[in-house]
Amino acid sequence: MYIPEILAWSWTGHGALTTAAVSMAISQFVTLGKSFLEKRFVEIYKVWQGPPGKSSVQDCLTEMMAILPEVVQKEDIHPANIPVIGEMLNPASGQVRHFMRSSESVSSLEAYNASKAYIIEHLDGAWSKYREAVNYQDKWYNVLTSSSSIFWEGNYELGKALHTIEDSYAPGHVTRKSGSGFIVQVNIWDDANKNPDPARDWPGHEALDNPNNEKSREFYAMAKNTSAALIVCVLKNLDQDEVAATKDLRDTVEKYFHLGLAFENDPSDLMRKSDTLPA
């Protein structure tokens, strides 16, 4: 099997992108003055590592979330992502976590809705687990569950969301408009996508997964900013109730996933609304 073609943004690209986004998000979070949450993050860290350990919330969160790049990378290792076999096993949703269409029978609008729902589902899951950890009362006799173990469950939920968020900015996966980042088309995982085609100035999926490719560089930066913003949104809402947190998460997702689909084979796939792309 030709491994690079199944690893979006390339293996190291996902890791570097996530590392940068998490660092940016933590730095932004600590400026918000959320004293209760800051105190709890330090306490959760000490449950995990024991005293004295780290003392600043930035250091504690950095260590507690250090697993995220690995979690995001490992999202590429699953049966649905194996070329040919994946589509046979799960033709309808095999590419949902990668923000792609598995075949021509799936429209850009359908793929967009499915992948965005997947992102929201796992952002909600991360918020729920992190909030449970923040409110968990650790007892010495609870040997199987702790605030730190629950927090780690939140990391795995957040990693799933981040993988799909990042993939949505990879030009081989999604065509976004330069400057605005509007989603113009969700691409199909097929031979035309994988292979270079000079006639249409298409360097191929693997080349576009290189963050240093001139066609990818702008969107790689967008992916970092969007990932950081959504991590902050999860963290800052851990002292809010579910209604308020859910609304803020959805509003923030919508901010970065504006839709302006172009015509594909079927004109009915075009979304005509106020945020469609300018002519």
Render pLDDT for 186-210 as a digit per residue (tens, 0 to 9). Answer: 999 899 999 999 999 999 998 888 8
User: What six digits make up the tokens of 111?
Assistant: 């793929």
Using pLDDT thresholds of 50, 70 and 90, give the confidence band for residue 20: very high
Q: What is the DSSP string of 134-194?
A: HH----TT--S--HHHHHHHHHHHHHHHHHHHHHTT-TTTEEE-TTT--EEEEPB-SHHHH
Kindly report each contact of residues 90-97 with a partner whose C-beta sits within 8 Å and lies 24 or more positions away, as own/partner. Answer: 95/189, 96/164, 97/160, 97/163, 97/164, 97/167
Q: Does residue 78 have a pLDDT over 80? A: no
Give the global pTM.
0.88
DSSP string over 207-241: HHTSTTSTTTHHHHHHHHHHHHHHHHHHHHTTTS-
| Residue the block writes with tokens 């990042």 | 166
Give the number of domains in the chain.
1
What was the pLDDT predicted at 265? 44
- How far CA 61 is from CA of 46, 110, 122, 159, 244, in Å, comes to 11, 36, 19, 15, 23
- Which of 173, 197, 194 has the alpha carbon at shortest distance from 185? 173
Average of pLDDT values for 239-261?
95
Within-domain flag for 274: no
Residue 160 Cα distances to 87, 92, 103, 109, 115, angstroms: 20, 19, 23, 21, 11
Structural domain includes residue 265: yes
- Who has greater pLDDT, 87 or 133? 133
90 band by pLDDT with thresholds 50, 70 and 90: low
* Mean pLDDT of all residues in 232-241: 98
Choice among 198-202, 255-259, 275-279 with the minimum mean pLDDT:
275-279
The 10s digit of each residue's pLDDT in 26-68 is 999 999 999 999 999 999 999 999 888 889 999 999 999 999 9
Within a domain: 130: yes
The residue with tokens 């693997």 is: 206
Q: Has residue 276 been placed in a domain?
A: no
Does any domain span residue 279? no
Looking at residue 278, its pLDDT comes to 36
- The verdict on residue 278 lying in a domain is no
| Structural domain contains residue 74 | yes
> For residue 15, is it within any domain?
yes
More confident residue, 252 or 140: 252
Question: What's the domain range around 226?
Answer: 3-269
